[in-house]
A = this chain, B = another copy of it.
Amino acid sequence: MPRPSAADSKGRILAAAAKEFAAHGYAGANVDRIARAARLNKAMIYYHFASKAALYRDILNDMFAAVQRRVADVAASADAPAAKLRRYVEAIAVEAEARPHFPPIWLRELADGGRHIDQATRRHVRGVLAALQAILDEGARAGAFRRVNLIILHGGIIAPLMFFFATAGVRRRLLRGVPLAGADLSTAAVVAHIQQLALAQLEGKVA
């Protein structure tokens, strides 16, 4: 994955495209706007990428590759299962904050039924779940975790996380003036909350 550098045009295109796809979705994204934001022109995009779809797939793939790398490191570490679980949640949050385009693009891709996810990306997605499963198995073997449904647990982690990051705009727009609406919500507070909920399930404090 050629990481973006201010100098090379391909990196600038990837950065501009990620922003554009996050803001407008695949169909709504405009190749010309991407080119202008990258201080280039349309032709340069087709010099580096075969098509709009290929550009989008590259961005998707990069997102999930990054997340998988991070959570695989966590699963392979020497921490206790509960600590790994906390770090798993944190890893996803870190990646979402480092790549602000990640949560909105993932939300849209879910709504699209995963239509643009190619084989490489699918492997990464499965790798993320495999890392969580490994943590759960280890915890269960150690007697620290009870067995829970992987998808229910993962949904309880990824869904509120993605919502928190992706809805900053909507919260500002819709909840102006609503008391207790949580304008003061910090990433740290949300992450801590999700960690506690997940651990409460695994440790049998809640059914």
**A interface vs B, CB < 8 Å?**
22-28, 103-105, 107-114, 117, 122, 125-126, 129, 133, 149-152, 155-156, 158-160, 162-164, 166-167, 169-171, 173-175, 178, 180-182, 185, 189-190, 193, 196-197, 200-201, 205-207
A163 touches B174 (CB 8 A): no
Contact check: which of B23, B24, B103, B111 meets A22 at CB < 8 Å? B111
Contact in complex: B166, A155 (CB < 8 Å): no
Residue on B with the closest CB to A30? Answer: B27
Distance between Cα atoms of A181 and B155 in the complex (Å): 11
Contact status A173-B108, CB under 8 Å:
no
Do A206 and B207 have beta carbons less than 8 Å apart? Answer: no
**Complex contact B173–A151 (CB within 8 A):** no
CB of A176 to closest CB in B, whole Å: 10
Interfacial chain B residues near A152, Cβ < 8 Å: 182, 185, 189-190, 193
